[in-house]
Each structure stands twice: as C-alpha cells, then as structure tokens.
C-alpha cells in the first residue's frame, strides 16, 4: 500500500514535536512552511523530468513516515569496528540519524562544530538561519519534507585562512533499530575565506538486512579561495533507501573536489547541484557506482555556469551486474554571461549482464560562445581481447575479469586518496565475486 | 617441443590456415615470414589459444601434450608466451602489479613460492633497463597511452620476466625504428638458450640482420610454402614473395 502525503505529514509533525523547542517559533515557522510546500508539491513521479527513470513507488510503499527515535542503545557499542585507519583531525558520529557526542572528536583550532540538535536546543539563531539558505524550501516533495522534519545534523564552520592538514570524518551508522523509519538529517559545511578542509563521509549499516530511509540534505558553501575535498561513500544495507541532496555554492577562486561512491542500498539517489556564485571558481565531481540484482542507483547532477571563468569536470563510472539498474542524469548549463567557461561531463558504464539496465543522459546546454565544453557517455562490456591478453599471461579468466572491472573504476577509486578508503572500496566491491558466474541470469561471455 | 601437423583453421567460415606443418625443437629459433594476410597472426593466436578461430583439422603437440586442449592460461603456465602484434591497452591495470601477478601465477603452477617484493623489484628494474623501457611506464597502466615502440618493449620485458619455454613473437619488429629493433633483437638473443624454443614472426627481413634463425619458413596463403636456412630470408629480401607464390601455385 502506498501511504498518502498526509501520512507523511503526520509522521513528520510527530518528529517535530519530539525536538527541543527552544529554537522558538521562528524555526518552527520555517518547518511548517516547508511542510506546506511538501503538501503543494507532493512526491515526485515519473512525469517530472528529474524523476523520469527513477520510480519512488517502492520507497513510498515502505511507508517510512516517521523519523527513528533517539537511539536508546548503549553508546559504547562496537563503533570501534567501523573506524578507519586514517589519522583524522576530527570525527562526528551519527548513529541512527542522531549525533552522538560520546563518539565524536573535535579538531582543536579554527573549526567550529555544532550539532543541529544542540543549535535547536540553545536557539543558536546564527546557525539555524543558515539552514536552507542554499536549498530553499525544497525543489521537490522530498527536499521540502526534509527541511520540515530534519532531526539532527552537523554544522561545520572552518574559520578564515585555516588550512586543516588532515581529514575530518562524518560517519553515519545505522542499526537495526531504524527498521521501518526515515532518518532525515542535514549538514551545513561552511568554509570561510581562504580556508581548506577535507571531509570523509561514510554511510554504513550494522545490519545488512535492515530497511530504512536515509534522507540527507547537505549545504556546502565555500567562500573566496576556500577549498574542500569531499569524499563520500554510501554502503548502506542492501534493503536501505538512500537519498542525498548536495547543494554546493562557490565564490571566487573557491574549489570543490567531490568524489562519491554508491555501492549499497536497494534504492539510492544522489542529487548534486553546483552554483558558481562568483567568477573563477572550480568544481570537480567524480563518482562510481556498482549495482547488482535488486539495486537502483541514481546520480543527478545540475551544474550551473552563469558567470565567467569557471570550470567544472564531472566523471562518473558504473558497473552493472545481474538485473541492476542505474540512472545517470547530468546537466551542465552554460549561460550567456559565462564566457571562458570550461565544462566536461562524462559517464561510462560497464555491463556485466544482459539484464542490467542503465539510463544515461548527459546534457550540455551552452549559450555563451567562448567556452570549452564536452560531454560523452558510453555503455560497454568487458573487452574479449583484454581478457585474452591477461589470460595469455597466466591469469585465470575470473581474475582477468576482476582486474578489468577494478581497472575500469581505478581512476575514480584513486580519487579517494587514502589507502584505507581505497582498500575499503576494493574489498566492499569484491571484484572477484563480481565476476562469478551468475546463477539466475545469463551473463555476457 | 612444438609439433604442428597439417593444421587447418578458419575464421567466420573462411579458411585461413590450409595445412600448416612445423616443428620447433628446444634451443631452436625459427622465423616465419610471409606477406600480409597470409595467416601468421592467425597461427600465433591459435597457438596461444585465442577465441574466434575454429581449428578444422590437424594437431598441435607442445611438450608432448595436445596443446589445443589447454585453456589459454594453462598454456601460459606451461611456459608458452606470445608477444602480440597489437598489445592490448588495459586502463587502470597497473603494469608492475600485473607483471608480478603474472609471474606469480606461473610460479604457483610450477609449485614455486611467490616472488618476494625485493627480488621482483630488482629484476623488473634491471630488465626494464635492458629493454630500454622507461621506468615510469612500469607505474602506469598496462600499455595505456604507450607509443608503438613502448608497447613492443613492454612485451619483451614481459617475456624476459616470465622466461617462457616457448616464445612466439608476432611482428614484434613491425613499426620500430632501428634502435628499438635492436633492443627487441637483443631481448630475443638474451633469451636464447639450449632449453628454449622461439618462433619469430616477421614481415621484413631486417630483424634477421640481428637475430640468427636456425630455420626460416615462408607462410603464404595458409601454408608453409618454403623452408630453409637464413639465406632464404636474404633471397626473399632480394626477390620478394611473388616468385614463391607462383611456384606454390604451379
Ligand atoms: N578475426 C578475424 N575475422 C575475420 N577475418 C580475419 C580475422 N583475423 C584474421 N582474418 C583474416 O585472416 C587472414 C589472415 O590474417 P592474419 O593471420 O592476421 O595475417 P598476417 O598476420 O599474416 O598478416 C586475413 O585475410 C585476415 O583478413
Ligand atoms: Mg599479423
């Protein structure tokens, strides 16, 4: 049964009631305005271009109407198992969508970190006012619902000219307690003038069977000459639903380097919008996805060049297996005033089976005349000649295929830079297992 | 070591090999020459086990075994190596790791332990220097973006590292300048031992200025139409292939 928007409204209102109230009427008003917007918009369906290839029916059938309750768990539980061997400057841990102070470590100087729940409790107006400044009330029903009902999140502010010499981590861990619930969170990442930071974000599930809806909106604002390297790995439970909206705004000479991996979840969508607010800014997005039976992964990019001298480069690659499905919809718009823009968009797909399906739609609309732009897409299979070459050097066929799959994604995997992340990805993607003969499906020879 | 008897093969129903007979003993180096399209690469590929060819008759014995029954990788593990005419580019597959993995696959098959990092590094650097392959290319993806000459040097490097029992080189000399040609020839000469067989496919005589073959065969229209010593290569250089084809047709 598909629940009605009013069921979601009710669940969201319940969630709002559970929140600390000292933020006063002002924040509540904003939430109610967003809720109203949700009622106007409703959930998107395939009639809207942005959702043409990605059905939300399965998600809505699950009825994730209410947010998960505050985690009651013993907080000393096994978080250690999920930590990486990376020397981080700080770590913010969210369990079941709630910020967990006890597991979080803050960097010492030049960084201010607050949880949104704390900001709400203390009525930190400066922080709260920034919420939604890039996303607005929401372009679709999901986004509006998130603003109305978000439960927690992180606010990270890097002070002017502070250059952090190590990464900070945002870890999102879900337990089996979130079964049947949504986890609406938001983050605000603000880099002030001349600052530099690296953020590693991971989404993991303790229980590979649990079904929940992780719904996150991230607003990233880079002031003049700020640089952010943002690494994001989504490896939720295979029954989980994941929706991320990233809104990036860049001022003059700012640079955003994002690299995303979507491996888990049964349904996963990442929407990335990039706005050049001033000339001379740079945005790079790399991404990889791996889909198998029962998985859908969607990447949606909206790169808007309206000002001169900005550059962007987007490169997304995916491997599809079994009856897996992927959607890539990348839009670059270069406006009239955006002379001397450079924009390149590419999407490549490696199909390991005949049942797999990809809808790829790179789009480039250019109104300025003095620009360098390109876009392209490819859908292919493993190359027989390459397999022969590897086997002729003594590697067995499965290993040859695994190496080629890994090689296909290598240029993206490299962008994760840290050995621990690269190993994590390689292990999780299990390239050898990937090339095992499929039992229920006819695989390509 | 290698005995090919009356081998016939076709591609897409078109007969390419029309009865090839060839015998290579350990310690021997044979050159196969012939005009373009005569089936030289087809023969080399069939020996290495590449898909897409149907062997319609004859047999190939390698070290006493029925070669055509073996999987591609089993042939490699039993010491057969093919330096390809068109080495394949493998983006994202690191050249050095691949070489090491390949070496270890062969060592495992021989019941030997895997090579340790230090010995491997020492060997690969030394041999890369011998074949004049820029060390930087070891760290790159296999053949990706390599020039024609670099690809061929990389094949010779693999051959030197894998130390095959039977090495087949398919036009490794094609498209090379004289310096690269000498490097390839040196690579081949360095590997000549009493135990190793070599089959060098070449379109031009000039490689044989640097490599002394024990026998020269001419493959034309799917058959070996003439075999002889080194002097046959010189005669081909002087007279071309035409006269042989006419004689064969007569
Ligand atoms: N994969 C293939 N499909 C169709 N024809 C092929 C294929 N490979 C080779 N041939 C044909 O077989 C013949 C011999 O080719 P090849 O063995 O490459 O010759 P050589 O190496 O002596 O130049 C040529 O006529 C060529 O066109
Ligand atoms: Mg050839």
pLDDT per residue rounded down to tens, chain B (250 residues): 999 999 999 999 999 999 999 999 999 999 999 999 999 999 999 999 999 999 999 999 999 999 999 999 999 999 999 999 999 999 999 999 999 999 999 999 999 999 999 999 999 999 999 999 999 999 999 999 999 999 999 999 999 999 999 999 999 988 888 888 999 999 999 999 999 999 999 988 888 889 999 999 999 999 999 999 988 888 888 888 888 878 777 6
**Position of tokens 């081909």?**
B236
The whole-number average pLDDT for the span A37-49 is: 93
In sequence order, the 6+-apart residues with CB closer than 8 A to the CB of A292 are A321, A322, A324
In sequence order, the 6+-apart residues with CB closer than 8 A to the CB of A194 are A160, A161, A223, A224, A225, A226
Instruction: Report chain A residues whose CB lies below 8 A from the CB of B82.
Output: 392
The whole-number average pLDDT for the span A380-390 is: 97
Q: For position B233, what pLDDT does the model report?
A: 85
Which residue of B92, B115, B165 is the best one to mutate when testing the A interface, meaning the one whose CB has the most A CBs within 10 A?
Answer: B92
Q: For position B248, what pLDDT does the model report?
A: 72
Does pLDDT of A443 surpass 50?
no
In sequence order, the 6+-apart residues with CB closer than 8 A to the CB of B71 are A391, A397, B49
Inter-chain touch B90–A390, beta carbons under 8 Å: yes
The whole-number average pLDDT for the span A60-64 is: 91
Inter-chain touch A397–B50, beta carbons under 8 Å: no
- The secondary structure element, H or E, covering residue B249 is helix B242-249
Q: For position A444, what pLDDT does the model report?
A: 47
Q: Are strands A182-191 and A152-158 parallel, antiparallel or unpaired?
A: parallel
**Among the ranges given (A76-80, A257-261, A414-418), the one the predictor scored with the smallest mean pLDDT:** A76-80
Q: For position A439, what pLDDT does the model report?
A: 53
Q: Is A85 exposed, middle or buried (0-12, 13-18, 19+ CB in 10 A)?
A: exposed
Rounded to whole angstroms, how far apart are CA atoms A187 and A283?
A: 19
CB atoms within 10 A of CB B240: 11
Rounded to whole angstroms, how far apart are CA atoms B153 and B136?
A: 13
The whole-number average pLDDT for the span A285-291 is: 97
B88 touches A: beta carbon within 8 Å? yes
Inter-chain touch A394–B50, beta carbons under 8 Å: no
Q: For position A445, what pLDDT does the model report?
A: 38
Token digits of residue A418: 């840290």
CB atoms within 10 A of CB A224: 18
CA distances from B147 to A412, B32, B85, B153, B237 (A): 25, 25, 13, 10, 28
- Tell me which residues have their CB within 5 A of the ion that is ligand 2: B 40-41, 85
- For this complex, say whether ipTM is above 0.90: yes
B10, B32, B41, B46: residue to mutate for ligand 1 pocket, most atoms within 8 A of CB = B41
B42 touches A: beta carbon within 8 Å? no
Inter-chain touch B90–A404, beta carbons under 8 Å: yes
Q: For position A24, what pLDDT does the model report?
A: 60
Ligand lying nearest the CA atom of residue B174: 2
Q: For position A1, what pLDDT does the model report?
A: 67
Q: For position A442, what pLDDT does the model report?
A: 46
Q: Nearest chain A residue to B98 by CA: give it.
A: A390
Q: For position A82, what pLDDT does the model report?
A: 87
B82 touches A: beta carbon within 8 Å? yes
Tell me which residue of A87, A79, A82 sits closest to A428, measured CA to CA.
A82
Q: Among B72, B93, B101, whose Cβ lies nearest the Cβ of A392?
A: B72
Q: How many CB pairs under 8 A join A and B?
A: 77
The whole-number average pLDDT for the span A371-380 is: 96
Q: How far is the CA of B54 from the centre of ligand 2 (A)?
A: 17
pLDDT in tens, A391-431: 999 999 999 999 999 999 999 999 999 999 999 999 988 87
| Residue ranges of domains in chain A | 5-278
In sequence order, the 6+-apart residues with CB closer than 8 A to the CB of A25 are none
Q: For position A126, what pLDDT does the model report?
A: 87
Assess contact for B142 and B162: CB atoms under 8 A.
no
pLDDT in tens, A3-36: 788 888 999 998 888 887 665 667 888 999 999 9
The whole-number average pLDDT for the span A164-178 is: 93
- The secondary structure element, H or E, covering residue A411 is helix A397-413
């Amino acid at each position: 049964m598909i629940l009605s928007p009013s069921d979601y409204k009710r669940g969201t209102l319940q969630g709002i009631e559970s929140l600390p109230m000292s933020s006063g009427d002002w924040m509540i008003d904003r939430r109610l305005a967003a809720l109203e917007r949700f009622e106007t918009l409703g959930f998107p369906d395939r009639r809207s271009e942005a959702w043409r290839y990605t059905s939300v029916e399965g998600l809505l059938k699950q009825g994730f109407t209410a947010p998960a309750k505050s985690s009651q768990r013993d907080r000393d539980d096994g978080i250690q198992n999920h930590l990486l061997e990376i020397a981080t400057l700080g770590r913010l841990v969210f369990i079941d969508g709630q910020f967990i102070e006890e597991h979080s470590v803050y960097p010492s100087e030049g960084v201010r970190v607050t949880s949104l729940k704390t900001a709400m409790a203390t009525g930190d107006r400066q922080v709260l006012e920034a919420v939604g400044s890039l996303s607005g009330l929401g372009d679709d029903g999901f986004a509006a619902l998130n603003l109305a009902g978000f439960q927690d999140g992180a606010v990270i502010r890097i002070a002017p000219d502070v250059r952090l010499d190590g990464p900070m981590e945002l870890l999102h861990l879900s337990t089996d307690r979130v079964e049947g619930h949504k986890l609406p969170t938001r983050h605000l990442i603000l880099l002030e003038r001349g600052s530099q930071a690296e953020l590693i974000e991971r989404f993991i599930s303790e229980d590979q069977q649990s079904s929940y809806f992780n719904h996150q909106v991230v607003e990233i604002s880079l002031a003049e000459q700020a640089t952010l390297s943002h690494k994001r790995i989504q490896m939720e439970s295979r029954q989980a639903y994941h929706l991320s909206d990233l809104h990036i705004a860049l001022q003059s000479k700012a640079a955003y380097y994002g690299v995303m991996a979507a491996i888990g979840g049964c349904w996963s969508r990442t929407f990335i919008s990039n706005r050049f607010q001033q000339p001379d800014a740079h945005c790079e997005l790399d991404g990889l996805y791996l889909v198998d039976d029962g998985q859908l992964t969607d990447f949606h990019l909206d790169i808007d060049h309206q000002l001169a001298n900005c550059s962007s480069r987007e490169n997304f690659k995916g491997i599809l297996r079994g009856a897996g499905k992927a959607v890539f919809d990348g839009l670059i718009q270069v406006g009239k005033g955006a002379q001397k823009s450079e924009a390149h968009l590419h999407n490549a797909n490696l199909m390991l089976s005949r049942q797999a399906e990809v809808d790829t739609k790179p789009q480039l609309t250019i109104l300025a005349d003095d620009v360098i732009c390109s876009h392209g897409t490819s859908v292919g299979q493993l190359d027989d000649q390459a397999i022969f070459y590897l086997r002729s050097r003594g590697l067995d066929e499965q290993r040859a295929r695994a190496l080629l799959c890994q090689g296909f994604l290598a240029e993206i995997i490299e962008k994760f830079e840290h050995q621990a992340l690269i190993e994590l990805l390689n292990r999780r993607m299990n390239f050898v297992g990937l090339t095992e003969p499929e039992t229920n499906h006819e695989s390509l020879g | 070591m290698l005995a090919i008897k009356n081998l016939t093969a076709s591609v897409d129903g078109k007969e390419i090999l029309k009865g090839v007979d060839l015998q290579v003993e350990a310690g021997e180096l044979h050159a196969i020459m012939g005009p373009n399209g005569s089936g030289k690469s087809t023969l080399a590929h069939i020996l290495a086990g590449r898909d897409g060819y149907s062997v319609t008759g004859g047999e190939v014995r390698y070290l006493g075994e029925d070669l055509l029954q073996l999987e591609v990788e089993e042939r490699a593990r039993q010491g057969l190596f093919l330096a390809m005419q068109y080495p394949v580019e493998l983006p994202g597959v690191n050249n050095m790791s691949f070489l090491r993995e390949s070496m270890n696959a062969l060592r495992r098959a021989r019941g030997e332990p895997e090579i340790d990092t230090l010995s491997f590094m020492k060997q690969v650097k030394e041999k890369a220097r011998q074949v004049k392959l820029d060390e930087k290319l070891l760290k790159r993806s296999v053949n990706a973006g390599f020039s024609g000459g670099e690809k061929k040097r990389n094949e010779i490097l693999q051959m030197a590292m894998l130390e095959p029992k039977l090495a087949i080189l398919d036009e490794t000399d094609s498209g090379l300048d004289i310096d690269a040609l000498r490097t390839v020839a040196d690579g081949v000469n360095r590997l000549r031992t009493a135990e190793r067989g070599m089959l060098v496919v070449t379109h031009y005589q000039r490689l044989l200025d640097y490599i002394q073959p024990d026998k020269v065969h001419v493959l034309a229209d799917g058959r070996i139409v003439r075999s002889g010593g080194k002097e046959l290569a010189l005669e081909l250089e002087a007279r071309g292939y035409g006269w042989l084809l006419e004689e064969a047709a007569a």
